[in-house]
Structure 1
Amino acid sequence: MPPHDDNEALASLAAPPSEPEHERPKTFREMWPKDWRAYLCLLGGFLQMFISWGYVNAFGTYASFYDSVLLPKADNLLMNLIGGTMCFVILLLSFVVGRLVDAGHIGKVLFTGTILLGAGTFSLSLVNGDAGEGDGNYGGIWATQGFLTSLGMACHFVSSSQVVATWFIDTKSFAVGVVACGASVGGAVISTMARYLNQQVGFNTASRHVATLVLLLSATTVLLCRPNPAHPRNPSPQWRWSTFWDSTALRSPCFCWLSAATFSIFLGFYPVFFNLEEWASASGLAFRGPDRPQGLSPDALETFALLSMMNGSSFVGRLLAAGIADHLGIYGALHVHAFVTAAASILLMAFWTTANTVGKAVAFVLLFGMFSGAVIGLPPASMAFIIGKRDKLAQARLGQRVGMMYSIASLPALVGR
């Protein structure tokens, strides 16, 4: 294709549709894509979230092991900095990844992510000596798990919902919700896997098992995740700042308000996931390790069980909220997102501070997990909602807009630990 102006290329996508302005409503069956590649892509997007944000959701289990075994003398803020760095890098690079996927480079992005993710997760097993008590290397853990692994996860995060959205035009919120469920399932599976393998075979071998799982799933996504050929691409020149950061988005009040809301969400929600095990242990509601300490309530659970419950209930919240968002039609994802955010905030302020028994702690974990799953899972669907599914010019920039929104939220993700 000969070089041409950025605006001219995009303007060509904004031609009026040939269809009548008022179409008859589609039946439920007509709303779903007929191409089998759409459902393979949906599976691939689910796996992308499993190995990216699912790994982040499981960090609480890693942090608990670091605090009790590898780095017993480390400051809690330094410990949370590892998880905060993971969130920061993934979100900060979202605008770059989103733009590259908009331009049709999904294969290269996912291949790069697979290499980086595999290198980071395997390297974690090499930096802590024998991984005995006090053998932890904080700098090595931060560099491998906190930084290198996050570079790989960044390649999967935004692209997961972005590519799936090109296939599911009329059921976009539900499809993105299914993708987001990968983070819940991944968080539960990886945290449980790491917890039991740490006890059975030691941290280094456990890390290699987790790395093998993550690498295989990441390689699978390279084969499965292909965008709809009919979806418009944004063919702007690749190496201009304006190519990656669309300043015209900042003129849209809807974009600015949604980005501000996402900024606030990442400032306040993920500390719960990262500090849940520490809080439960310090409150005497749960215990770390296989042996129950004497004097603890007979109802007390293992700390990782609470984190697994929260990740499991967030699966229900993500899927349910996404289905409701599509069902409500004109009220859409944005309104559902506002409701679940308000509900989760009330739970956090009123319920967490009063959860002083095991029963209350479990109730809080299940309810907050369900609502927070919807809160974290709906931003891409909300962005697609405010853009409009029939606006080809805006749809060509969907990945860029979603990426910019998440990049704006990267700083609070780092400091809000």
Structure 2
Amino acid sequence: MLQPSNSALSFAEVGAVSLDSRRQSQDLEQEPLWPKGWRPWTCLVGCFFLMFNSWGIVNGYGTYLSYYKESLLADYTIVHFNVIGATQCFFILFLSFIAGRLLDANYSRWLLVGGSILLALGMFTLSICNGSGHRGDGEYMYTWVAQGLVSGLGMACFFVSSSQIAATWFKRKKGFAIGVVASGASVSITCIVSIFLAVPNPDHHFRRPSGWLATKTWIDKDAFKDPAFCWFTAAISWMFFGFYCVFFNLEEWSAEVGVGYKGLEPPVSGMHALRTYWLLAIMNGSSTIGRLSSSYLCDHFGALNVHAGVTLVSSFLCLFLWTFASNLGSALAFVIIFGAFSGAVIGLPPASMAAILGPHPAQQGKLGQWTGMMYTISSFFALAGPIISSHLVVKFDKYLTVQLWSGLCLFLSACCMCVAIIYHARDESFMRSRLLKLTPASTRSRSRSMSRKREMSEV
């Protein structure tokens, strides 16, 4: 039998939590549906650029990989190239627990300045570490340091910041805010713009630590007592195990099956194919649809529910549509449809974690830390996944291995999300029943009446 994660609390403690939750819920209900003033909207623009300069660059790594394999580093295997992209993913995710805790303590400006310096340094050094850019001029180790390590460290400062800063302004529309920010990964002076525009809401509940060296400052042990958090973290780990294998290997797969080509002209006259980078660009472009539409859906149907659904569909697309794509038409169908659903898959984790924490300001004050811890745990899977999948390609000389690997990982991710939904629904039901017992009937009636009036006024 499932037991509530807070069942260890005494009756008096549960009552105190429920009463506090009731007061916080009433405060949240008094918040306007959309924030007022210009600051929230300029902040949204700044956070959009932060995502653009983190996962937006990672999403386009497949084009770098194709160029390295074709020209700069022609003597290396696809495993070596996937190591560079996987290193980027690893550092972005691994350092998220530090970035998330600093955000909760309102040190966002320091993160953005530091990230801008590191990313600029990494990208500029990448442009000068490969000689004249001719075939065989590449230096693998320098490329790994510049693109994988230094740029990855800079992006780590941006990734969690992009969604958490925007969420402080859009209290009742977090899904919308996170969805708009996430679309930045599909579209660098933009770093400078973000430093000045991506400013958190000063009224947000910030948590300054009593001491920075204490373990509890960086790791919230209460998170691991919450089954919904644990299962959702497992889901995100499975997701990163297979997700970026698709983006990293799409161009090479398209060239192998003949739906894409790398030169200026198709190798065969009249060949029905696109240049390989167009397929990756189309996939990234269509992901904007998923990122924005999912932001609307999760505000109406719940972020966790939407997240599990789109992840399940994405797994089926890899297992069936991608594996049977053999011509340009079916390849385009895959990149467009998978791109739309994958945009929601990668864009919704912060919104889903916000749903697990609940709407109350004290709990939302932990959003950066819990999200960061989740990403840090999943960073090891993001590092290993692309390397394992590319090794399978080299061993079996078939991209079918990548298709099956990605599809299976996404399917297991969706299964873990479903378990997280069960535990989260159980906890919500438990707290709701305690709240109803501790709230006088007259107060409940008045609260319902006020809610109806507010809904009518918003309509």
Q: Shorter chain as normaliser: what TM range?
A: 0.7 to 0.9
CA distance in 1, matches of 2:342, 2:42: 27
How far did 1:269 drift?
1.1
3-state SS, counterpart of residue 323 of structure 2 = helix
Structure 1 residue corresponding to 2:47, chosen from 45, 48, 59: 45
2:236 counterpart (217, 242, 262): 262
Going from structure 1 to structure 2, the CA distance change for 1:20 and 1:59 (only over 3 Å counts) comes to closer
**1:342-381 deviation per Cα after TM superposition (whole angstroms, max 9, x unaligned):** 0000111111110011100000010111111100000000
Out of 76, 79, 82, the residue aligned to residue 80 of structure 1 is 82
Q: Which position in structure 1 is the counterpart of 2:376?
A: 407
1:286 equivalent among 260, 268, 275: 260
Contact 2:46 2:197 in 1 (8 A): yes
SS for the counterpart of 1:16 is: helix
The alpha-carbon deviation at position 35 of structure 1 amounts to 2.5
Task: Provide the TM-score with structure 2 as the length reference.
Answer: 0.78
Q: How does 1:206-285 map onto structure 2 within 5 Å?
A: 214=188, 216-236=189-209, 237-285=211-259
Contact between 2:237 and 2:378, CA under 8 Å: does it hold in 1?
yes
What's the CA shift for 1:394?
1.5
Unaligned runs of 5+ in 1: 1-12, 186-213
Instruction: Please name the residue that 1:16 is paired with.
Output: 20
Residues 288-336 of structure 1, C-alpha deviations (whole Å, 9 max, x = no match): 13222126x53210100000010011000110011111123xxx10000
What is the rounded CA distance, in whole Å, between the counterparts of 1:407 and 1:264 in structure 2? Answer: 13
Do the aligned partners of 1:14 and 1:393 also contact (CA within 8 Å) in 2?
A: no
Aligned in 2, Cα 1:288/1:24: closer, same or farther, shift over 3 Å?
closer
> In the alignment, which of 140, 151, 154 is matched to residue 152 of structure 1?
154
2:315 matched residue in structure 1: 345
Work out the CA distance in 2 between the residues paired with 1:135 and 1:396: 49
User: Kindly tell me: are residues 114 and 23 of structure 1, through their superposed partners in 2, closer, same or farther at Cα, counting changes over 3 Å?
Assistant: closer
Q: 1:15 to 1:25 in 2, by over 3 A?
A: closer
Aligned: 1:324 with 2:309? no
Report the Cα offset of residue 22 of structure 1: 6.2
Q: Report the CA distance shift for 1:231/1:279 in structure 2 as closer, same or farther (over 3 A).
A: same
Of 370, 379, 388, the residue aligned with 2:349 is: 379
Q: 1:25 to 1:250 in 2, by over 3 A?
A: closer
Alignment of 1:393 with 2:372, yes or no, is no
Q: CA deviation at 1:15?
A: 8.7
Q: Secondary structure at the match of 1:232?
A: coil
Shift of 1:261: 0.5
Residue identity matched to 1:298: M
Q: Percent of aligned positions with the same letter in both sequences?
A: 48
Cα distance in 1 between the residues matched to 2:29 and 2:90: 42
Task: Pick the aligned partner of 2:286 from 292, 313, 325.
Answer: 313
Aligned to 2:199, what secondary structure does the other structure show?
coil
State the superposition RMSD in angstroms: 2.0
Partner of 2:106: 104
Distance 1:21 1:96, change over 3 A: closer
Which residue number in structure 2 is paired with residue 132 of structure 1?
A: 134
Letter in 2 for 1:138: Y
2:25/2:359 contact within 8 Å kept: no
Q: 1:132 to 1:271 in 2, by over 3 A?
A: same
One of 135, 140, 143 as aligned partner of 2:145: 143
Structure 1 residues 106 and 127: alpha-carbon distance in aligned structure 2, compared to 1, 3 A threshold: same
Aligned partner of 1:6 in structure 2 is none
Letter matched to residue 82 of structure 1: I
What is the distance in 2 between the residues matched to 1:19 and 1:398?
20
Q: Paired residue for 1:7? A: none
The CA deviation at 1:238 is: 1.9
Distance 1:95 1:84 in 2: 18
The answer for unaligned runs of 5 or more in structure 2 is: 1-16, 387-459
Q: Give 1:415's aligned amino acid.
A: A
Tell whether 2:361 aligns with 1:361.
Answer: no
TM-score norm. by structure 1 comes to 0.86
Q: Which residue type is aligned with residue 110 of structure 1?
A: L
Give, in whole Å, the separation in 1 of the partners of 2:19 and 2:51.
34
Contact 2:178 2:351 in 1 (8 A): yes
| Secondary structure, counterpart of 2:20 in structure 1 | coil
The equivalent of 1:302 in structure 2 is 275
